Structure 1
């Protein structure tokens, strides 16, 4: 079984975006809270893709 360790960076960046974005979406003023919410969405997607590619590196090939 092959593990793609290089994709763990996607997981770390995705989790960092979620950890920053969840409180920031409630704390920031009106136009900036949308950017924080989009950062959370991007973080969830990055984390899911990173976990998928770490476990199955040839998934999209």
Structure 2
């Protein structure tokens, strides 16, 4: 288990916690960016968790 793979997971959690309220609070063009940040945060959280649990997942 590598500690480096926890960084994308933690950054993903930060994006989710920022983006969910911001998507409802910001005005029309900016709320789309906040919603995209939530989607990116979910992807980073899943990728970081996967690489933390199974570090050789993408190696042949």
Aligned residue for 1:57, secondary structure, equals coil
Structure 2 Cα separation of the partners of residues 48 and 10 of structure 1 = 9
| Cα distance in 2, alignment partners of residues 36 and 8 from structure 1 | 23
In 2: Cα distance, 1:20 partner to 1:27 partner: 11
What does residue 15 of structure 2 align with?
17
TM-score (norm: length of structure 1): 0.94
Q: Which runs of 5+ in 1 are unaligned?
A: none
Aligned-residue offset at 1:40: 0.1
| Structure 1 moving runs of 4+ over 6 Å | none
Q: Distance in 2 between matches of 1:30 and 1:60?
A: 38
- Segments of structure 2 that go 5 or more residues without pairing to the other structure are none
TM-score, reference length from structure 2: 0.95
**Aligned residue for 2:30?**
32
1:55 aligns with 2:53: yes
